[in-house]
Structure 1
Amino acid sequence: MKQRRSPATIGALGIVVVLLATVSAFFLDDLPLIGAGATYRAQFTEAAGLKPSNEVRIAGVKVGKVTAVELDGDKVEVAFKVKDAWVGDQTTASIQIKTVLGQKYLALDPRGSDTLDPRDTIPLERTTSPYDVLDAFGDATTTLDAIDTTQLAQAMETLSDAFSGTPADIRASLDGVTRLSKTIGSRDDELRKLFAATADTSKVLADRNAEFTKLIGSAGLLLSELNSRQQAISQLLTGTQRLSQQLTGLVKENEEQIGPALEQLRGVVQILQDNNDNLDKAIKLYAPFTRLYANIVGNGRWFDQVVVNLTPPALPLIPGYRDPVRTIGGN
């Protein structure tokens, strides 16, 4: 008889399966069949601020990301993953600056005739590390802060006094070094202020990183909108050109009928224009007549008129009955 599993066992197995599926979802890129491409390695003289998860680009297009940055003896070995891009066996790699705040990315220049074997490492001869200006200023600030310029100037003066009996050429050289030391000592406060201002500027730029990122993203949206508007204008111009071609063909096909119709229309317009001129002239001539006639017979804003001879001459001047002059049919 086959033994059935208890509901508790089935539920526990289901929870384990769900947990495994959830955990594996975070490591899909590391799976050999579902991963995001092949993993390569490159050697650099220094990391130059490159970190895991930084972008990998070819010709400015993102094709992968950096997965690890490790120290290998006196070299730095960078592991990166590339997807949907060809990497040749003579490919060169360089660490480039992405933003003004010092963010980096790994740039590849695919070269060669064969595909690069993931087991092969890009050597130092084909890699380049950038010069980090921010780090250089930081190191210079630390070094200058640690120097006691007053003591350095005193040491130079003591050295100059000790060599006072030496030939003139050597004394002149030491005097020059002494003056240089004094100049550096006199400008110590100014240099400290300069490097302090540089540190403040770097801090302000670092604090505004999110705003710079947002500004760059907004610029991308603006360029996208301008591109869509340019496409719309291009389509409008194309449609206008097609409409012009259609109208041109229509005019050419009906040129024989349109010509006489336009001539007749021109004649009608000329007749209407002549009649309009005559009406205008008549109105102008009627104005003086109206003024004179109103002055003669008018009595305000109207004309006084008398209608006479409405009654027949044979009617009596006084009311009364008289016999008709003629009778027709006894009436």
Structure 2
Amino acid sequence: MRSIQERNPVPIALVGLVIVIALGLVAYRADDLPVLGGGTTYTAHFSEAAGLTTGSEVRVAGVKVGKVTDVELDRTRVRVSFRVKDTWIGDSSGAAIAIKTLLGDKYLAISPLGAAAQNPDLTIPLNRTRAPYDVTQAFQDLGATVGRLDTVKIAQSLEAIATTFKDTSPEVRHALDGLSALSRTISSRDDRLKRLLLGSDRLTGTIADQNDQFETLLKDGNLLLEELNLRRQAIHRLLTATRALARELIGFVDDTWIRLEPTLNALDRVTTVLEKNQKHLDKALSVVGPYYRLVGNTLGNGRWTDAYLCGLTPNEYLEPGSYPENGCMPPKVGGRS
């Protein structure tokens, strides 16, 4: 067996290219595979598509559960195929084309009703489906229709009708005169009406072009509201915990008050006695201070005590000049030298 280096690289490259293309197709159509994609495909009849396209979302109670796989014409009706996963669809379920954004994006809303499951081989009939009224498309059609009107000919026709009925009763003549004035007014305002309708058409086109930005803005607003909701929940938990802590502190005070009350009363009596004897305490402290200072000086030289004895021997038994001149006062303040 020859190695890869010895083989012709062209067939190997072709086989590798085919494998890469096949893997790409499998990855692109992964949702349609029975094992990887999964889900069940249903069909529904609508009176009109109303802007619903392949790839539009399928929602149940506002939650995305699948997508539209095909939108095709079935004689005088529109046949919509959609696939959902892990979602129960009943035999009385309804389907409606709903407006997703203010700019006209649509999605398929399913109402899962019924006692039994919907047979995927049976199409949901028209009496259980509903299509929305598209205001944007209606204004665009109105603009196109008005733009094709020949207002000059309409005014001439109304003038001819007024001339024809000029010999009729005054009431009819007045009505036709008013109709003629109306036609002249419409004709004089024709350019303005056209500009207004053209401006409306450009406005709708601009809004449609900015659809992605509006959708991003709405998503960001939704994220902001979710974050505010999380903050509100955190504050709610904080207030709930604070209230629980307050209840625990109240219970603790109630439980310990019986034991704390005698102690606090005794402490109050002690402070009252100390307050009454404050002058005596001040005097005692002023006297005790020097006494303890002298005791400290006496015992502050180590393991012995400094002492000075005077007057044990009468002066007449001492030689002149050997007894202290100042009596029994120490020769040096603070002790012997």
TM range (shorter): 0.7 to 0.9
2:207 counterpart (185, 196, 205): 205
- CA distance 1:272–1:85, shift in 2 (3 Å): farther
2:304 maps to none
Aligned residue for 1:190, secondary structure, equals helix
Of 44, 48, 51, the residue aligned with 1:49 is 51
Range moving further from structure 2, 225-234 or 99-108: 225-234
Kept after mapping to 1: 8 A contact 2:147/2:194: yes
Query: Displacement, 1:258?
Result: 1.0
Please tell me the residue identity of whatever aligns with 2:210: R
CA shift digits 1:111-151 (9 cap, x unpaired) = 22111111111111211111111111111111222222122
- Identify the residue that residue 116 of structure 2 maps to in structure 1: 114
Structure 1 pair 17–266 and aligned structure 2 pair: CA distance change class (3 A): farther
Query: Structure 1: how far apart are the matches of 2:13 and 2:266?
Result: 95
The more displaced of 14-23 and 99-108 is 14-23
Alignment of 1:28 onto 2:14: no
Q: Aligned equivalents of 1:176 and 1:275: distance in 2?
A: 113
Select which of 125, 128, 146 maps to 1:126: 128
2:39 aligned residue: 37
**Residues 1:275 and 1:62: Cα distance change in structure 2 (over 3 Å):** farther
After superposition, give the CA deviation of every residue in 1:43-99 in whole Å (9 maximum; x if it has no partner).
111111111111111121111111111112221111111122111111111111111
Deviates more, 1:135-144 or 1:238-247: 238-247
1:64 to 59, 63, 66: 66
Distance 1:250 1:170, change over 3 A: closer
* Equivalent position of 1:293 in the other structure: none
Which residue, 238, 244, 249 being the options, matches 2:246? 244
* Structure 2 partner of 1:151: 153
Establish whether residue 329 from structure 1 lines up as the match of residue 314 from structure 2: no
1:274 positional shift: 7.1
Aligned residue runs from structure 1 range 206-285, under 5 A: 206-267=208-269
Given the two structures, how large is their TM-score scaled by the length of structure 2? 0.72
What is the aligned-residue RMSD (CA, Å)?
3.1
Q: Gaps (5+ residues) in structure 1?
A: 279-324
| 2:192 aligned to which of 190, 193, 211 | 190
String of CA shifts for 1:221-257, please: whole Å, max 9, x gaps. 2222222222322332333233334333433433332
DSSP 3-state at the match of 1:90: coil
More displaced 10-residue stretch of structure 1: 101-110 or 12-21: 12-21
Shift of 1:103: 0.8
Post-superposition CA distance 1:128-176 (Å, at most 9, x none): 1111111111111112222221221112112322344456666555444
**Counterpart residue type for residue 259 of structure 2:** Q
Shift of 1:22: 3.6
Query: 1:317 corresponds to which residue?
Result: none
Cα distance in 2 for residues equivalent to 1:213 and 1:85: 27
SS in 1 for 2:95: strand
* 8 Å contact from structure 2 (residues 101, 215) kept in 1: no
CA contact (8 A) 2:52 2:106 kept: yes
Aligned partner letter, 1:60: G
Number of residue-to-residue matches in the alignment: 281
Unmatched runs of 5 consecutive residues or more in structure 2: 280-314, 323-337
1:274 and 1:200, CA in 2 relative to 1: closer, same or farther beyond 3 A? farther
AA of the residue aligned to 2:47: T
The change in CA–CA distance for 1:189 and 1:253 in structure 2 (over 3 A counts) is: same
